[in-house]
Amino acid sequence: MQAAADTADRNQQTDGRQTRAASVAHGTRNPDRRTSRRHTASHGRSRQERYERGTRSYTMSHIRGKDTTIEVLVRSYLFARGLRFRKNDKRYPGHPDVVLPKWHTIVFINGCFWHAHSNCSAFSRPKSNVEFWSAKLLRNTERDERQHAQLVAAGWHVIVVWECELAKPVREARLAKLYDQITAMPGTEPGVIDDTIPAKSRNNQPTAEPDDTMQPR
The pattern of x and - marking residues 45 through 74 that bind Zn ion according to CB under 5 A reads ------------------------------
Instruction: Sheet containing 98-100: give its strands across.
Output: 98-100, 105-110, 157-162, 192-194
- Residue 54 carries which DSSP code? I
195 sits in which H/E element: none
- CB-nearer residue toward Zn ion: 157 or 174: 174
Instruction: Cite the DSSP H helix spans in the chain.
Output: 2-12, 16-26, 33-43, 47-50, 56-63, 69-80, 130-153, 168-183
197 binds Zn ion (CB under 5 A): no
Among 70, 83, 161, 164, binds Zn ion (CB under 5 A): 164
- On the CB side of 113, CA atoms within 13 Å amount to 10
CB of 198 to Zn ion, least distance (A): 15
Shortest Å distance, C-beta 138 to Zn ion: 17
Judge whether 159 and 178 are in contact, CB under 8 Å. yes
Least Å distance between CB 145 and Zn ion? 16
Residues 103, 157: contact at Cβ < 8 Å?
Answer: yes
Dist CA 217 CA 197 (whole Å): 29
Question: Of the two residues 52 and 165, which places its CB atom closer to Zn ion in the complex?
Answer: 165
In the complex with Zn ion, which residue's Cβ is closer, 11 or 194? 194
| Angle formed at CA 26 by CA 24 and CA 31, multiple of 5 degrees | 70
150: three-class secondary structure by DSSP: helix
| Identity of the residue, 24 or 170, whose beta carbon is nearer to Zn ion in the bound complex | 170
Q: How far is the CB of 165 from Zn ion (least distance, A)?
A: 7
Query: With respect to Zn ion, which residue has the nearer C-beta, 10 or 64?
Result: 64
Residues 103-162 that bind Zn ion (CB under 5 A): 112, 117, 120, 122, 162
Cβ-based nearer residue to Zn ion, 110 or 150? 110
In the complex, the smallest distance separating the C-beta of residue 97 from Zn ion, rounded to whole angstroms, is 16
* Residue 136 C-beta: closest distance to Zn ion, Å: 17
| Residues in touch with Zn ion (CB under 5 A) | 112, 117, 120, 122, 162, 164
